[in-house]
Structure 1
Amino acid sequence: MAVIVGIVLVLLLLVPRPNQIPTRDINVASAALGAQPSVGFTPVQPDVPQGWTPRAAGLETGTTNNIATWQLTYTTPSGTYAGVQQAQNVTEAWESRQVTDGKETGTETIGGVEWVVRSRTDRGTISLVHRGDDDITTIVTGTAAELEMDQFATAVATALK
């Protein structure tokens, strides 16, 4: 038994271990270009302030009602999550899934765009839903503090115009 433990300890000392999780470089513009034919519109690409790091960008299919969905997520400067989902001709089921069944609590105008607020306070998640005249629904959702969520929603609203 001591021999086995000794071998394991030697291997642990010899095998290099990273001190942090490596980050991937996400090219948002390239991902949006690739998603465009499937979603049928130009996906939103918000110009976020410095300190926001894209975590994932791409097309999601095969979920609720097989609606092709543009998804873009960021880590905020404070280390929380903010993202945007966007699709055309959505169903109520699709929207409810994107906002984790958050209840409508009113409306807000942020960045010159009217958003329906849907929140899940039990999960610490806020979602802002913009139902566009062009049948494109844009949802900003996250666990970020109100200031960062407003910053993100403003960047998304600016990109929608």
Structure 2
Amino acid sequence: MSEARPEVPAVSPASGPGPDPVQPPDELAVKPILTPKQAKRANQTIKGMVISVLLTVAAVIPVVLLNPGSKPETYHRDIDVPGVARQAEPAAGYLPVVPEVPGGWSSNYARWNAGGTAKVPAWEAGYLTADGHHIALVQTNKANPTWLAQATGEAPVTGQRRIGGADWELRDRGTGDKSLVLEEAGYTIVLKGAAELAEFDTLGAAVADALDDK
């Protein structure tokens, strides 16, 4: 009697146990190489950017140098106020007031303002005191309450000062600019700035004297 033997499946060498197949090594990163034409275009782009920046700087520098606000002497130049006042007389219809300021003082602007949207034409001049404080002078014969409030920075009336034989109204917020307002001979004159009151008194007296001489 023969004994039955179980069949043993054949195992192919490829599917049998053994080490994992060796994986191919990672490909090395290849640095791109520019062609001569590409390198030339890249260099031209960089040069163009540099030239563009230099041209921009060259265009800006003259503007900065020619801008009056960028020069220290703008704040200390001495304008011919009487000469500008005579030029403004035909447009104003009167000779604008030109106070005689003491030594050490100067003027950094003088002009006729046709009025703009406010429709209040006015003579404007700026004065620098000996200590370097600025006081703006404005004169008009067409003032109104709205214009006056704007000209004095909406500051409240805080008192009155007798200067040069005239009564000036003081408007002061307590900080920043203060103003002196004079109503005289049909004109409204405003002095405004952050100077000391003693300096306002000096300019106010000079204004009053100039009005008396007319």
TM-score between both structures, scaled by the size of structure 1: 0.81
Q: 172, 176, 187: which is aligned to 1:136?
A: 187
Higher strand fraction: Structure 1 or Structure 2?
1
**May I ask how many residue pairs the two structures share in their alignment?**
154
SS at match of 1:141: strand
1:74 partner letter: Y
How far apart, in 1, do the equivalents of 2:73 and 2:162 lie? 38
Q: 146, 149, 152: which is aligned to 2:200?
A: 149
2:209 partner letter: T
Match of 1:85 in 2: 138
How far apart, in 2, do the equivalents of 1:125 and 1:46 lie? 21
1:75 Cα deviation (Å)?
Answer: 1.4
Q: Is the 8 A contact 2:78 2:106 kept in 1?
A: no
Q: Is the 8 A contact 1:64 1:93 kept in 2?
A: no
1:21 Cα deviation (Å)?
Answer: 2.7
Q: Which has the higher contact order (CA 8 A, sep 6+)?
A: 1
Match of 2:127 in 1: 74
2:197 partner letter: E
- Structure exhibiting the larger radius of gyration computed from Cα positions: 2
1:64 Cα deviation (Å)?
Answer: 5.2
Match of 1:50 in 2: 103
Unaligned runs of 5+ in 1: none
Match of 2:36 in 1: none
SS at match of 1:33: helix
How far apart, in 2, do the equivalents of 1:88 and 1:59 lie? 13
Match of 2:21 in 1: none
How far apart, in 1, do the equivalents of 2:131 and 2:96 lie? 26
1:80 partner letter: H
Unaligned runs of 5+ in 2: 1-45, 66-70
Match of 1:28 in 2: 81
Q: 1:120 to 1:37 in 2, by over 3 A?
A: farther
1:31 Cα deviation (Å)?
Answer: 0.9
SS at match of 2:72: coil
TM-score between both structures, scaled by the size of structure 2: 0.63
Q: Deviations over 1:41-88 (max 9, x none)?
A: 221101000111101001112345311100010111111111210000
Higher helix fraction: Structure 1 or Structure 2?
2
RMSD of the alignment, in Å?
Answer: 2.8
Match of 2:211 in 1: 160
How far apart, in 2, do the equivalents of 1:100 and 1:53 lie? 24
Q: 99, 103, 120: which is aligned to 2:173?
A: 120
Q: Is the 8 A contact 2:121 2:142 kept in 1?
A: no
1:127 Cα deviation (Å)?
Answer: 0.8
Q: 1:151 to 1:25 in 2, by over 3 A?
A: closer
